[in-house]
A and B are shown apart, each in its own frame.
Chain A
Amino acid sequence: MKRILLSISMFLMAFSSQAAIEILITEGLDSAQPIAVVPFEYRGTQVLPQNVADIISADLMRSGKFKAVSPADMPQQPVEEREIDFNAWSERNIDTIVIGQIEDVRPGLFVARYQIVDIIRGSITGGHAQMLSGGELVQTKDHILFESRPIQFDVSDFRRVAHAMSDRIFEKLTGIKGAFQTKIAYVLVADNAARPYKLVIADYDGFNEQEIVRSKEPLMSPSWSPDATKLAYVTFENRQAQIFIHDLYSGSREMIASYPGINGAPSWSPDGSKLALVLSKDGNPEIYVLDLLTRQLSRMTNNRTIDTEPSWSPDGQKLVFSSERGGRAQLYEININSGKVKRLTFTGEMNLGGSFTPDGKSLIMVNRTRGRYHIAKQDLRTGALQVLTKTQLDESPSFSPNGNMIIYSTLYGQNQVLALVSVDGRFKARLPAGEGQVKSPAWSPYM
């Protein structure tokens, strides 16, 4: 009996550690900017469910742009601006620190504030800068880059509030909008389960994993609606490929394509009015665009070879797609109004699974060179191709909505896992998976 209990508790531990997907940074912290998120001051009696400073530190690290200092390496742990010893921080080349305060208001309700402090400015002025205002010298605190208003929140919202703080900090320091409150959708395959295929959504960091569908038959290719309320995906639950649109809030599902042959690769247009998809009902895989309002289907390509994997340009005027019309699969674009087709890639044996970067200036793809599959980026103006990853069997790259990071699936040991690479290829990390294979990640738009 004891043994049974032990094995059950081991199972539970394994389960909870799986839920808490952490991050394993594999490359690229050297070039990152040091930052310290000092443990927040807490005045209250309720137990805090989460460590806000830890969540922010992890977010900033995962962006690839910051190296968060661990509390053990901090010269001091100030909780108010006036306690800061600027020289102690600047001696350690830590240019920016974040401090914060949390109070409990009543059971289940908290208030938090935080400040971003520029150590360099502070050490110059000693925290007592003066400026002219209305012809008079007045004291300023220009070393405080940002001071939040008090944020009131529920006990269940700790992680969300911490991610919102990360968004603000990231934007203040980089000028790039943060994407820490976004989600990822992916397919989990647990090989020995009765219903092995699961479509799952989770916070971008893997927390709050939520099952959307569980099936005996494969699930594939989730694509977010631009308002992040729906997913389109492929399901084989009826022993053939079909495309469904799934409302994440109501849970309702609608079948939108069930033709003979392939019904695949759904991709939502940036304005949400159309869905690009692949059908082989007329003989071989072709790109179609479905108007979601009128339900009118327009055929985009007409070619005897494989055309697949459509993905929209940010302006919604073009689709990039994979085609074998020139021999081996390469990426092409088609103007959806004129139907004009242009080949985009020429480097490597094959290029597949293309998508435009959010600024529309580059393409991200799966490149095959000497039999190896890696994520690569091509500058559309110069045509220069940069291979971003060194992992094995890389596929399904998907952008963070700010264009800063790419999530993709890769082989690690014997399992398919998710990994991150920064768009410049310098920062790399792996999301450690639980049991089974993790595939087809799709990063949500801003929520």
Chain B
Amino acid sequence: MQANQLLKYLVVVLPMLTAACSTTVDEDQDTMTNGADTATETTTEDSVEVMTLEEKRKLEIEAEERKQAALRQTNMLFFEFDGSQIQAKYFEVLEAHAAYLRANPSAKVVIEGHADERGTPEYNIALGERRAKSVSKYLQNLGVSAAQVSTVSYGEEKPLDKSRTEAGFAKNRRAVLVY
């Protein structure tokens, strides 16, 4: 019976160890499925803790997915006057879009580039394209396939804010990701 007891002990402790391990290897898919396998093997036994961990794991993944989806809700990036450089505050947002596009190779995104109403319409088309391409390049650097991303510049032709104030101009200098 001693061997049996040892086995019982291992059945309880091993998943705890792997679970502890899996929390450190955050988001590692393989570790997660191993843990789940172990859990199903032990369903006949006292498996309360294992189930809790799986639940927690599931919740974590769901939370991460919700966060990514929430980040992807942000599909608009704003730019400095005359600028096309992506500001640091959009890095997380673009990472979320990139993750989605990497996970869904058939998904396609159009990046629209826009400019404010200052300067000539055709020069603003060029500026808008530079902004759209800057976003496109950033996504490609995050591993998104070039075939999934296309750009179109509308220049100053589709202002978001028509007030022609500084605040309005700032809203119009934008790139928009359209799926």
Given contacts A241-B125, A285-B129, contact A414 B164 (CB under 8 A): yes
- Are A353 and B120 interface neighbours, CB within 8 A? yes
- Are B126 and A366 interface neighbours, CB within 8 A? no
Main secondary structure of the interface of A (DSSP, over half): strand
Asked whether any CB of chain A lies closer than 8 Å to the CB of B123, the reply is: yes
- Are A262 and B153 interface neighbours, CB within 8 A? yes
Contact of B121 among A240, A373, A439 (CB under 8 A): A439
- Are A393 and B122 interface neighbours, CB within 8 A? no
Contact of A352 among B110, B119, B152, B154 (CB under 8 A): B119
Interface size on A, residues (CB 8 A): 35
Asked whether any CB of chain A lies closer than 8 Å to the CB of B117, the reply is: yes
- Are B122 and A280 interface neighbours, CB within 8 A? no
How many angstroms from the CA of A309 to the CA of B127 in the assembled complex?
A: 13
How many angstroms from the CA of A16 to the CA of B126 in the assembled complex?
A: 38
- Are B126 and A262 interface neighbours, CB within 8 A? yes
How near does chain A come to B168, taking the closest CB pair, in angstroms?
11
Contact of A396 among B120, B152, B163, B164 (CB under 8 A): B120
How many angstroms from the CA of A440 to the CA of B155 in the assembled complex?
A: 13
Give the residue name and chain of the B residue nearest to A306 (CB). Answer: B126
A352 neighbours in B (Cβ, 8 Å)? 119-120, 123
- Are B121 and A221 interface neighbours, CB within 8 A? yes
Give the residue name and chain of the A residue nearest to B164 (CB). Answer: A411
How many angstroms from the CA of A411 to the CA of B127 in the assembled complex?
A: 21
Most buried by A among B117, B126, B127, B151: B126
Given contacts A236-B154, A241-B152, A411-B164, contact A220 B121 (CB under 8 A): yes
A236 neighbours in B (Cβ, 8 Å)? 152, 154, 157
Asked whether any CB of chain B lies closer than 8 Å to the CB of A357, the reply is: no
How many angstroms from the CA of A350 to the CA of B119 in the assembled complex?
A: 9
B150 neighbours in A (Cβ, 8 Å)? 260
Asked whether any CB of chain B lies closer than 8 Å to the CB of A368, the reply is: yes
Asked whether any CB of chain A lies closer than 8 Å to the CB of B130, the reply is: yes
Asked whether any CB of chain B lies closer than 8 Å to the CB of A178, the reply is: no
Give the residue name and chain of the A residue nearest to B125 (CB). Answer: A264
B120 neighbours in A (Cβ, 8 Å)? 309, 322, 352-353, 366, 395-396
Asked whether any CB of chain B lies closer than 8 Å to the CB of A96, the reply is: no
CB-defined interface of A241-268 with B at 8 Å, one 1/0 digit per residue?
1000000000000000000111011000
How near does chain A come to B39, taking the closest CB pair, in angstroms?
50
How many angstroms from the CA of A192 to the CA of B162 in the assembled complex?
A: 13
Most buried by A among B110, B123, B154, B157: B123
How near does chain A come to B71, taking the closest CB pair, in angstroms?
26
CB-defined interface of A277-291 with B at 8 Å, one 1/0 digit per residue?
010100011000000
Contact of A306 among B110, B118, B130 (CB under 8 A): B130
How many angstroms from the CA of A284 to the CA of B151 in the assembled complex?
A: 12
- Are B158 and A261 interface neighbours, CB within 8 A? no
Most buried by B among A220, A396, A414, A439: A220
CB-defined interface of B144-179 with A at 8 Å, one 1/0 digit per residue?
000000111111011000111000000000000000
How near does chain A come to B149, taking the closest CB pair, in angstroms?
12
Given contacts A218-B157, A240-B152, A411-B164, contact A265 B122 (CB under 8 A): yes
Within 8 A of A (CB), among B3-53: none
Contact of B123 among A239, A280, A309 (CB under 8 A): A309
How many angstroms from the CA of A431 to the CA of B177 in the assembled complex?
A: 38
Give the residue name and chain of the A residue nearest to B81 (CB). Answer: A371
Asked whether any CB of chain B lies closer than 8 Å to the CB of A27, the reply is: no
Asked whether any CB of chain B lies closer than 8 Å to the CB of A57, the reply is: no
Most buried by B among A239, A285, A440: A285
A191 neighbours in B (Cβ, 8 Å)? 162
Please name 20 pairs of A and B residues whose Cβ atoms are closer than 8 Å in the assembled complex, sorted by A. Answer: A218-B158, A220-B121, A236-B154, A236-B157, A239-B110, A239-B152, A264-B125, A280-B126, A284-B129, A285-B126, A306-B126, A308-B122, A309-B122, A352-B119, A352-B123, A368-B119, A393-B118, A395-B120, A414-B164, A439-B121
Please give me the 9 A-B residue pairs with the lowest Cβ-Cβ distance, nearest first.
Answer: A218-B157, A353-B120, A306-B126, A265-B122, A352-B120, A285-B126, A309-B122, A395-B120, A308-B126
Contacts A236-B157, A308-B125, A396-B121 supplied; 14 other A-B pairs, CB < 8 Å: A191-B162, A220-B157, A221-B121, A262-B129, A264-B122, A265-B122, A280-B126, A284-B129, A309-B122, A309-B123, A322-B122, A352-B123, A368-B119, A395-B119
